[in-house]
A and B are shown apart, each in its own frame.
Chain A
Amino acid sequence: MNALHSLATLVKPVENNPVLNISIFLAFVAITLVIVIRSGRNNKSAADYYTGGRSFTGPQNGFAIAGDYLSAASFLGIVGAIAISGYDGFMYSIGFLVAWLVALLLVAELMRNTGKFTMADVLSFRLKQGPVRVAAATTTLAVCFFYLLAQMAGAGGLVSLLLGINDKLGQSIVVTVVGALMIVYVLVGGMKGTTWVQIVKAFLLILGALAMSIWVLALNGFNLSALLDSAVAVSTSVPADAILAPGLKYGSNPLDFISLALALVLGTAGLPHVLMRFYTVPTAKEARRSVVWAIWLIGAFYIFTLVLGFGAASLVGADTVLAAPGGVNSAAPLLALALGGPLLLGFISAIAFATILAVVAGITITAATSFAHDIYGSVIKKGKGNPDDEVKVARRTVIVIGVLAIAGGIGVQGQNIAFLVALAFAVAASANLPTILYSLFWRGFTTRGAVWSMYGGLASAILLIVFSPVFSGTETSMFGADVNFAFFPLSNPGIISIPLGFLLGWLGSVTSTVKESPKLAAEMSVRSLTGHGAEKAVEH
């Protein structure tokens, strides 16, 4: 144990084998590219490109959802957060998992039955098409952008650790390469190719995390208490066992903790790239099955993060993690190095890279679909455009988003990934979830309510982030400690912006003078519950 610990501190991360790391990564890229090219051949219609022809089964889609969801934030971010802050980091795992119940019980099947390609399909079903679609596409793009930034920050951090590239230019080049690869995946493979990449990656990631967890537990005699004990033994926090209880990170600001918890649990069901996954299956029953598979896979993975986080704390040590290039986010790769040497590090890092690549591809196709289908197809062309043109627009949008992601990714190097993703969750929970729930469950919801809720939720979430310690006032802020315009004390805006989103949706609806069509409301209600019109005719 102690020998392992000193080994990890002796072997400097930069001394690992970059050639090995790159070859493992290239092997993954080669395999997935073949998959993408093969599955991209059958992309003919818009439905093929956006939803993979709705041909995936529940278990396949469940793996793909897990692949989409278990991003670099989950793997690198949470393991790092637990290694550094102990119990408070575990909070992310719990919130990220429990959130799936909102999706399972309230959203997945009804969305599948009512919509076709995007979140806006459902939201605009019985409301005024133009304003609602534009608002929904705007919030979709905003959430996707935040999420992309987080993944790109992860890519840069990982690279600096793996390849020993510490200078800004080197990291920027790698971020560019990741972005370019992602563009190729999405352009060639469409939704079907992207989904297969997710499935392969989810499988590898969960398997890798399982293997490392078993290894860590084996070193501690398969005794969780012993593992915690060894983490406490090398802990530098005061008192040492503070890492086992809540409060190490958020103790001074419990409201911030609650705000984060709120955003985590309500964000998932508003994430556009998760919602879009409900359309890649043929029926509501398959949508349900896929969510169930996803919950089991994601839940298992988050239990592993607990073992891996405390494993990294005991075998690598919080100080070593913080001092490594890549900082907090390097806990998982450093744990791999401590356990299995450069080979395991290479393998785990390739998985982490693949994770970033796959998630970025999934978000990009969601954003591009939303722009092409909601803004170009439904608003600019008023639904009369050619679906082939729509796909063309989607492909061009992919390139634009890819370039934006690369530029943004270069800008956010060094930020904490799990934390950046939590901001995306806050925006999703404030801007998307209120409108989704209202339009599914509240007959009195109106166009004005939807527009107020989406823009109000989005604007308040973003403004609060800008005026929070994330942007200015502390050492870890984007602008550093010297600039200070942080008058909002919490680093997550959820506790204000989510209730505000709900409130505005209600207020806009009750003050609305325009009556929404009761006919469409009845149709939506019947369709959402029975699946009529969304599923292929029952064979007689």
Chain B
Amino acid sequence: MSEAVKDAPPKSTIDYEAFEKTPRFRELKRTRNSFVVPLAIFFLVWYFAYVLAAAYLPEFMATPVVGRINLGLLLGLGQFVTTFAITMSYVTFANRKIDPRTEELRLELERMEQR
């Protein structure tokens, strides 16, 4: 298998600064950021809320819920659940909203390069 990517990117004829300002590229960027950034903030806040509770409220975390299973354990397992849920929601989003757009833009860039 030979490598498709060249070492230094070949001197491109594309005006990236102009391309960056095209509405479609800006829309791609906006779509991605407006999904990813709130999600990232959410999981970080939720994780650190959990960490702070574990560090400073151990009695609260020790509250029994079912048998020996306490609140701390459920919140810990909750971190697993949200991690899996965020992963799946991001994949669904990226497959539907990101991939078609990037493919279109990539095609366009390739056409510009051939000119």
Contact = CB atoms under 8 A, between A and B. Distances in A.
Interface of A: 42, 45-48, 53-55, 87, 90-91, 94-95, 97-98, 100-102, 104-106, 109, 116, 223-226, 228-229, 232, 241, 244-247, 250-251, 254-255, 257-258, 261, 265, 284-285, 288, 292, 295-296, 299, 302-303, 383, 387, 518-519, 522-523, 525-526, 529-538
A13 B8 CA distance: 56
A313 to B, nearest CB: 12
Contacts of B7: 116, 383, 387
A288 B109 CA distance: 22
A538 B110 contact: yes
Nearest to B71: A245
The 6 closest A-B pairs by CB, nearest first: A225-B67, A245-B62, A254-B55, A228-B68, A247-B58, A246-B54
13 contacts: A98-B47, A98-B79, A105-B36, A232-B68, A241-B62, A245-B58, A245-B72, A265-B44, A383-B7, A522-B20, A525-B20, A533-B12, A535-B4
Nearest to A285: B99
Contacts of B51: 91, 257-258, 261
Given A225-B66, A225-B68, A295-B87, A519 B17 contact: yes
Contacts of B106: 530-532, 535, 538
Interface in B56-115: 56, 58-59, 61-62, 66-70, 72-73, 76-77, 79-80, 83-84, 86-88, 90-91, 94, 99, 102-103, 105-107, 109-110
A532 B83 contact: no
A106 B29 contact: no
Interface string B21-55: 00001001100100010011001100110111011
A538 B103 contact: yes
Nearest to A52: B1
A518 B36 contact: no
A87 B61 CA distance: 10
Given A116-B5, A228-B69, A229-B67, A104 B55 contact: no
Given A102-B40, A519-B16, A292 B70 contact: no
Interface of B is mostly: helix
B55 A245 contact: no
Nearest to B87: A295
B21 to A, nearest CB: 9
A245 B68 CA distance: 10
A530 B106 CA distance: 6
Contacts of B70: 244-245
Given A87-B72, A522-B19, A299 B84 contact: yes
Nearest to B6: A533
Nearest to A253: B55
Contacts of B16: 519, 522-523, 525-526
Nearest to A101: B43
B91 A288 contact: yes
A299 B83 contact: yes
A252 to B, nearest CB: 11
Contacts of A258: 51-52, 55
A387 B44 CA distance: 41
A246 B68 contact: no
Interface residues of B, number: 61
B50 to A, nearest CB: 8
B5 to A, nearest CB: 6
A53 B105 contact: no
A244 B40 contact: no
Contact of B73 (A87, A232, A285, A525): A87
A355 to B, nearest CB: 22
A235 to B, nearest CB: 12
A295 B77 CA distance: 15
Nearest to A265: B47
A511 B77 CA distance: 44
B25 to A, nearest CB: 7
A529 B97 CA distance: 13
Contacts of A257: 51, 54-55
Interface of B: 1-5, 7-9, 12, 16-17, 19-20, 25, 28-29, 32, 36, 39-40, 43-44, 47-48, 50-52, 54-56, 58-59, 61-62, 66-70, 72-73, 76-77, 79-80, 83-84, 86-88, 90-91, 94, 99, 102-103, 105-107, 109-110
A295 B83 contact: yes
B84 A530 contact: no
B83 A101 contact: yes
A522 B73 CA distance: 46
Nearest to A230: B68
Nearest to B51: A261
Most chain A C-beta atoms within 10 Å of own C-beta, residue among B9, B39, B62, B68: B68
Contacts of B91: 288, 292
B80 to A, nearest CB: 6
Contacts of A261: 47-48, 51
A246 B58 contact: yes
Contacts of A535: 4, 106
Most chain A C-beta atoms within 10 Å of own C-beta, residue among B40, B47, B52: B47
Contact of B80 (A299, A519, A526, A531): A299
Given A87-B54, A523-B12, 10 more contacts: A101-B83, A226-B67, A245-B70, A383-B8, A522-B20, A526-B16, A529-B25, A533-B9, A536-B4, A538-B110
A536 B107 CA distance: 11
Nearest to A53: B1
Given A94-B79, A288-B94, A106 B36 contact: yes
Nearest to B2: A45
A94 B8 CA distance: 40
A53 to B, nearest CB: 4
A292 B87 contact: yes
Nearest to B28: A529
A534 B90 CA distance: 22
